[in-house]
Amino acid sequence: MSGLQNTAHELRDEVNLLDKQHDATARMVSSLDQQLVAITDEVKTTTSDLAKSQREASMKRTVLQRRLIEIYKRGPLYSAEVLFSAQSVGQLVARYKYLHLLALRDKGLVQRLDELHDKMESQRAQLVRLQNSVIENRSAKEQEAARLAELETLQARNLSRVQQDAKRTKARLAELEKSEARLNNFIASFEAERRRASGRAGAVTLSPSSIRTTDIGRLDWPVNGVFLYRFGRFVNPNNTTTRWNGIGISAAVGTPVKSVSAGTVAYAGPMGTYGNTVILEHGGGDYSVYGSLDRIDVRKGTRVIKGQAVGTVGISDPALGSHLHFEIRRGGPAVDPAEWLRAAR
């Protein structure tokens, strides 16, 4: 139960972290969208400016084309004729300067238009690349957001599953406590009734137990097998603690379960989480408990001899598999049954 609670706590932290990552990704995607809009507007503006420059260049080219036609019609010697037809040196210099400035102006205009066109083309290509890069980044961020959303959903499902497991485990613990209390109350009430019956019969002493202190380490095993769990407190790998009032002996389903000593069947039937259970009263306030049975072969009130089969091994808890739950109660409290059994099985 503690392990499940820790797992649920860790999953909640992980879900909260995924929520933060999701929000950060959403903000990033929104920022990229705004950048994309700004870049798109800039591309439109640049494209418009480029179109204006192209129109201007087209007009200038038309002017230059007309001038080239005129120059062609006048012939290649027109400039020389203009210069040499001057009436004075001053007029010659003036005409030369005019022709030179006109040529520089035309050449500068052509170069400026070419440079402007190249610059616009380069800027437009750069903006297109930047736009494509932003679109790719946006796509990547959207994929990341989708992935985080998927992880968030998965973690939420895991959290829900662990919470459900914790709820079932809590209910299971409550059932275990209820079954243990029922067993304890049953033995206590049976022992009280036995004592009252002995008193009414005028008995001076209670009947002695068939389980004696000399039987410590000498009783036959109720079923051959290996320990599944032992008596007392047991620390699990996840640092949780389980307390067992008996021992678990792993054995195949249907294996006969035998009485460790002679006694009377005090109870034979289902006992909550213990599953099908047989309780033998051995006298003197001593009892033996055989739980997790598949089949019960005795009835309440019948006398059982040592080694007699009282039932067969079954499965009361799927998590534990097929096994026999065996307890020995002396005067009410549970004692370690392993101390009473033979070392050799």
Give residue-wise pLDDT tens across range 92-108.
Answer: 888 888 888 888 887 88
> Distance of CA 273 to CAs 24, 118, 141, Å?
49, 86, 52
pLDDT score recorded for residue 297: 96
Task: Dump the DSSP string for 104-135.
Answer: HHHHHHHHHHHHHHHHHHHHHHHHHHHHHHHH
**What does the pLDDT look like over 269-293, one tens digit per residue?**
999 889 999 999 998 889 999 999 9
**Kind plus residue range of the DSSP H or E element containing 99:** helix 89-200
Instruction: Please give the share of the chain, as a percent, with pLDDT higher than 90.
Output: 27
pLDDT score recorded for residue 234: 72
User: Is it the case that residue 219 has pLDDT exceeding 80?
Assistant: yes
The more confidently predicted of residues 56 and 226 is 226
C-alpha to C-alpha distance for 255 and 311, rounded to whole angstroms? 8
The more confidently predicted of residues 126 and 212 is 212
C-alpha to C-alpha distance for 97 and 147, rounded to whole angstroms? 73
pLDDT score recorded for residue 204: 44
User: Is it the case that residue 74 has pLDDT exceeding 70?
Assistant: yes
pLDDT score recorded for residue 202: 52
pLDDT score recorded for residue 239: 62
SS3 323: strand
Residue whose structure tokens are 């029922």:
182
pLDDT score recorded for residue 300: 93
Strands 232-235 and 256-258: unpaired
Looking at mean pLDDT, say which of 22-26, 63-67, 315-319 comes out highest: 315-319
User: Is it the case that residue 200 has pLDDT exceeding 70?
Assistant: no
Residues 278/260, Cβ–Cβ less than 8 Å: no
Alpha helices (runs of H) in 75-88, residue ranges in sequence order: 78-84
Q: Tell me the average pLDDT across 39-63.
A: 78
SS3 249: strand
User: Is it the case that residue 50 has pLDDT exceeding 90?
Assistant: no
First to last CA, the chain: 34
Residues 216/340, Cβ–Cβ less than 8 Å: yes
Q: Tell me the average pLDDT across 75-86.
A: 78
**What does the pLDDT look like over 128-142, one tens digit per residue?**
887 787 788 778 778
Least confident among 3-7, 12-16, 252-256, 291-295:
3-7
User: Is it the case that residue 344 has pLDDT exceeding 70?
Assistant: no
Averaged pLDDT score across all residues of the chain = 83
Query: Judging by beta carbons within 10 Å of its beta carbon (0-12, 13-18, 19+), is residue 131 exposed, middle or buried?
Result: middle
What residues have CB less than 8 Å from 251, skipping those under 6 apart? Answer: 223, 224, 225, 313, 322, 323, 324
C-alpha to C-alpha distance for 287 and 211, rounded to whole angstroms? 9
The more confidently predicted of residues 200 and 109 is 109
pLDDT score recorded for residue 123: 74
C-alpha to C-alpha distance for 6 and 101, rounded to whole angstroms? 89
Residues 127/43, Cβ–Cβ less than 8 Å: yes
The more confidently predicted of residues 266 and 56 is 266
Tell me the β-bridge partners of 242: 234
Chain CA centroid to CA 207, Å: 60
**What does the pLDDT look like over 278-332, one tens digit per residue?**
999 998 889 999 999 999 999 999 999 999 999 999 999 888 899 999 999 987 7
Residue whose structure tokens are 């001899």:
305
Confidence of residue 240 (pLDDT cuts 50, 70, 90): low
Instruction: Identify the structural domains of the chain with CATH numbers, from first to last.
Output: 2-167 (1.10.287.2610), 207-339 (2.70.70.10)
Question: Which tokens is 133 given?
Answer: 């890069």
